[in-house]
Chain A
């Protein structure tokens, strides 16, 4: 099993550009999450999904959209990137009936100029 994978690993955008981050998991987990992590700060939840076709806002959802069309994939979109969105983005997944443990992908480092 590959676990949780994220594409791309690195990306540089100009202000106003758009992009989509892809998260994929092969563990058949029901729940999936998108976090951002900034220097000196903890993990902040952007959006999450409790199942295919269902998404919900987290702590810092503004400027981001998500979609979960397939159980194994969770997409994070930036419609018009801003320098404040420069961050490391982590995807995580969790199995419904296996406690609260979340398993993380390797992260995407995004820089917005």
Chain B
């Protein structure tokens, strides 16, 4: 059965810390993995990863994919209170129009 598992489910850190969020997956014929950020509204797209070992970067956020070990990590350096959100990971199943969503990691940044 296709699945996406995120860890940890929640994380509380202080401003300035670096955090690493994990997403592991099991799907037939993997083609991409997506990261989203959800504050108190709709999920917004962060990254799409398709190739192993190639880092995607946007400011203090970066993400990398390991297709051999079937996981991705999302790193946030020098965290700020505005980074507080739920971070969602999703993977499309084989030959399908949908996405399989992880339950999300709730990140809280304390000032």
Contact = CB atoms under 8 A, between A and B. Distances in A.
B48 A43 contact: no
Contacts of B34: 100-101
B42 A100 contact: no
A101 B48 contact: yes
Interface string B19-36: 000000000000110100
Contacts of A99: 32, 48
Interface residues of B, number: 19
A3 to B, nearest CB: 10
Interface in A52-90: 58, 90
Contacts of B97: 31, 48, 50, 94
Given A31-B97, A43-B88, A48-B98, A101 B45 contact: yes
A43 B32 CA distance: 18
Contacts of B44: 104
B88 A42 contact: yes
Q: Which 9 A-B pairs have the closest CB atoms?
A: A104-B42, A42-B103, A100-B92, A42-B101, A43-B101, A100-B32, A104-B43, A106-B42, A101-B45
Given A31-B97, A104-B42, A106-B42, 12 more contacts: A42-B101, A42-B102, A42-B104, A43-B88, A58-B98, A94-B97, A99-B32, A100-B31, A100-B48, A100-B90, A101-B34, A104-B43
